[in-house]
Structure 1
Amino acid sequence: MRKIFLGVVVYALAELALLIVIGQNIGVFSTLMLIVATSVIGIYVMKNKGMNSIQNVKNTMARGEAPGAALVDTLLTFGGGLFLALPGFLTDLVGLLLLMPFSRKMFQPIVYYWMRKKMKKGQFIIVQR
C-alpha cells in the first residue's frame, strides 16, 4: 500500500512540476488550452475509435475466431483515449503511446501477461454464449 501511495505522490509532483515548467515557457493560458484540447481529443478518441474497436471485436467473434488480439487492441485504444482525457502532460504522453500502432505493439505482451495471470487466479473469466 505504501508503494502505491508513494507512486501516486511522485506522479502528482512530477505532473505538477511539468505543468509549472510548461506554463512558464508557453504561458498559463496556452498551457490550459493545451490541456483542454488534449482532453477533448481523448474523449473523441474514446468515443469513435473505441466504438470501432468494439465493432471489430464483435465481427471477430461473429466469424468464430478468438477475439484476443482485437480485445487487447480495444483495451489499449480505450486506455489511450482515457489517458489523453485526463489532465496532465505525462498522461498525454502515455495516451499517445497507447494510440500509436507501432508503440501499441510494445504494450500488447504486457496486457497478455496480465490477462493470463488473472485467468490463472480465476479473476478473469471469458464466457461464450
Structure 2
Amino acid sequence: MRILFTIFILAPILEMWLLIEVGGLIGALPTIGCVLLTAMIGAALLRQQGLSTLLSARQRMEQGQVPARELIAGLLLAVGGALLLTPGFITDAVGFVCLIRPLREALIDELLRRGVMQVQGGTFTAGSGPQPFGQRPDEPRDSGNITIDGEYRKEE
C-alpha cells in the first residue's frame, strides 16, 4: 500500500519536473504539441490493439478455451490508454509499453512468471492467493459444487 501511495505522490512531481525541463529546452508550444501527439498516437494504437485483442478473445471462446491472456492484455490496454491520456512523458512511456504488442506480451509473461497474475485451469487469479478472480481472499474457496437459488414452476 505504501508503494502505491509513493507512486501517486512521486509520479506527478516527476512528470511536472520533466515537462518543465523539456519545455525549457524546446519551448512551451512544442512540448504541448508532443504531449498531444503522443495522446493521438496512443488513441490510434489503443483502437487497433483493442480490436485485435477482442477478436483474439472471441476466437478463443469460440474454440471453447478461456481467453485468460487476452483478459490480461485487455486490462493492460485499458491502463495504457489511461496513461497516454494523462499529460506527461513518463506516463506516456509506460502507456506505450502497455499498447505495443511485443512489449505488452513480454509484460504479461513477466507478470505471469512472477505470480502477480495467474492462469490456472480456466480460472484467472490476481495476486498470490489461489482464489478465483473476483473472490475475496477471506471468502472460503468453492469446493466445486454449484448452488443455484431460485424458484420454479412446473408447466403442464
* TMscore range, shorter length: 0.7 to 0.9
Unaligned residue ranges in structure 1 (runs of 5+): none
> How far apart are the structure 1 equivalents of 2:25 and 2:39?
21
Q: Return the offset for 1:102.
A: 3.2
- Measure, in 2, the Cα distance between the counterparts of 1:54 and 1:67: 10
**CA–CA separation in structure 1 for the residues paired with 2:26 and 2:32:** 10
Q: Secondary structure at the match of 1:29?
A: helix
RMSD: 2.4
Where in structure 2 are there 5+ consecutive unaligned residues? 118-124, 136-156
Is residue 53–residue 73 contact of structure 1 (8 Å, CA) maintained in 2?
yes
Aligned residues: 125
TM normalised by structure 1 equals 0.78
TM-score normalised by structure 2 residue count = 0.67
Q: Which has the higher strand share?
A: 2
- Looking at both structures, which has the greater relative contact order when contacts are Cα pairs under 8 Å and sequence separation is at least 6? 1
Q: In structure 2, give the amino acid aligned to 1:113.
A: V
Q: 1:86: which partner in 2?
A: 86
In the alignment, the residues of structure 2 paired with residue 2 and residue 68 of structure 1 have an alpha-carbon distance, to the nearest angstrom, of 29
Q: Deviations over 1:41-84 (max 9, x none)?
A: 22233333212311221111011122112222232233323322
Q: Percent identity, aligned pairs only?
A: 26
Partner of 1:110: 111
Where does residue 120 of structure 1 map in the other structure?
Answer: 130
Partner of 1:77: 77
| Bigger share in helix | 1
Structure 1 or 2, whichever has the larger Rg, is: 2
Give the match for residue 63 of structure 1: 63
Moved more, 34-43 or 98-107: 98-107
SS of equivalent residue, structure 1 residue 120: coil
- Per the alignment, residue 8 of structure 1 pairs with 8
